[in-house]
């Protein structure tokens, strides 16, 4: 099957939110790809989360209930996961500093 015959999803608000969410999750190290273990990139993850928050702010009052729930829930989950990754990185840095 060639790349041109693979159907693309429609460009919907849901697709936009889920794309940004997946991007942030990958940057947080929640989705591993390939054989290597990738460390979270908190700077990039924060940028993706902030971008999604900007979309939320700019679309406030113009979304269906379903769309609003999707973006609200996505941001809540991403912010929680970001804090977990930040704390884990801080803890491992502290242990490395204490051990060395």
Residue-wise pLDDT for 49-91, tens only, equals 999 999 999 999 999 999 999 999 999 999 999 999 999 988 8
Q: What is the mean pLDDT of residues 22-28?
A: 96
Task: Name residues whose C-beta falls within 8 Å of residue 40's C-beta, 6 or more positions apart in sequence.
Answer: 27, 28, 29, 85, 89
Domain map (residue ranges) of the chain: 11-31+40-99
* pLDDT at residue number 98: 64
* pLDDT at residue number 56: 98
Alpha carbon separation from 83 to 13, 31, 60, 63, 91 (Å, rounded): 26, 17, 25, 28, 12
* pLDDT at residue number 97: 67
Predicted model pTM: 0.83
Tell me which of 31 and 80 has the higher pLDDT.
Answer: 80
* pLDDT at residue number 43: 97
CB atoms within 10 A of CB 80: 10
* pLDDT at residue number 50: 98
Strands (E), 21-92: none
């Amino acid at each position: 099957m060639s790349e041109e015959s693979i159907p693309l999803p429609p460009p919907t608000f849901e697709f936009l939110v889920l794309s940004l969410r997946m991007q942030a999750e990958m940057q947080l190290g929640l989705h591993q790809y390939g054989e290597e273990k990738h460390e979270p990139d908190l700077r990039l993850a924060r940028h993706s989360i902030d971008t999604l928050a900007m979309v939320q702010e700019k679309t406030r009052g113009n979304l269906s209930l379903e769309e609003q729930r999707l973006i609200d829930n996505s941001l809540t989950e991403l912010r929680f996961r970001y804090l977990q990754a930040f704390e884990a990185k801080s803890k491992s840095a502290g242990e490395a500093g204490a051990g060395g």
